[in-house]
Amino acid sequence: MKGTVVLTWLETIGNIWGDDVKRYAEKGIGLDESTIISPTDDIDDS
């Protein structure tokens, strides 16, 4: 899945449920706050 989709999902999660849930979702997919996602990055679907 491309980084653009992941970034959009994370931004939407943050807007709807807040930053705490967004950070929890990021941890769930193995990202930390210092990770930079490029729109062209290929992120594993699982």
Each residue's pLDDT, cut to its tens digit, for the chain (46 residues) gives 788 888 899 999 999 999 999 999 888 888 877 888 888 888 877 7
Dist. CA 42–CA 6, nearest whole Å: 10
Look up residue 14 and give its two tokens. 């943050």
pTM flag (> 0.75): no
- Residue 21 confidence (pLDDT): 94
Helices and strands, counts by H and E, the chain: 2, 0
